[in-house]
Amino acid sequence: MRCPAPGRCFDMGNQYFQFKQFTVQQAGSAMKVCTDACIQGAFTAAYIREQLPGASPVLDIGAGTGLLSLMLAQSGNGTIDAVELDAAAAQQAAENFAASPWSERLRVFHTDIAHFNPAQRYPFIITNPPFFDNDLQGPHQRRTAAMHTVTLGYEALLEAIIRLLAPGGSFSILLPRGGFDRFRRMAENEGFVLRKLLEVRQTTGHSPFRSIGIFGPAAEPQREELVIYNEQRQYTPAFVTLLKDYYLYL
């Protein structure tokens, strides 16, 4: 199965998503595998591999199906702890972890991140949080909770990151462009610095619609741009390079 259009997730009829080295079963999760999250996982895995090779354990806040944890595990990171509030999604992530080649390095905790109190703090955190803050909400409760900040607002998320991130640690976050700008200001007020920014466009004719930022201690910020499709609606060489280790058909 191939990834859907940018920003789109598989509907309920798609029970799984096959990657090169693992499978994501997703029937039990309100949010399905999305191109956006695949980009974040690959981009963040490359950053950790190149800049923070000793960053372990990693914390995944709002794990959903466990996609991001699985992508980081494939990249060679050490242990990864995933926290998920929704019971069905947490169970789905646990099953995906158990079926993967890295089951001994992956753990899922079914709990509210506000109540998660691990024995250690994490040198790196990754999160693909609910996107839409104060937006109109849909009729489906679980999907609404997964997409909107009804259970984890930006302020609460940042508080959790501050509490759970080790001194000198870094974190990766994926948000829509406008929401990212707001979150960036909040993070900078708490002393975090945007170290690397990836702005994602569907085509060269579209404005950026997603921002992936890696925040941490002070450093010279780097900005990159990723265009997913060319004029023929084929994946661009940059997209193929980023996702070729993961996508089954690249």
pLDDT in the model for residue 159: 97
Q: How many angstroms separate the CA atoms of 103 and 95, rounded?
A: 9
Please identify every stretch of the chain with a pLDDT value under 70, giving residue numbers as ranges.
1-13, 77, 132-151
pLDDT in the model for residue 144: 43
Domain locations in the chain? Answer: 16-243
Q: How many angstroms separate the CA atoms of 231 and 229, rounded?
A: 7
pLDDT in the model for residue 55: 86
Assigned CATH class of 16-243 = alpha beta
pLDDT in the model for residue 220: 84
225-246 pLDDT, tens digit each: 999 999 999 999 999 999 999 9
- How wide is the angle at C-alpha 189 spanned by C-alphas 187 and 195, nearest 5°? 45
Q: How many angstroms separate the CA atoms of 93 and 72, rounded?
A: 14
134-158 pLDDT, tens digit each: 444 444 444 444 443 445 799 999 9
pTM, full prediction: 0.88
DSSP state of 159: H
Going across the sheet that includes 210-216, the strands are 106-110, 80-84, 58-61, 122-127, 165-176, 210-216, 193-201, 222-227
Cα distance from N-terminal residue to C-terminal residue, the chain? 12
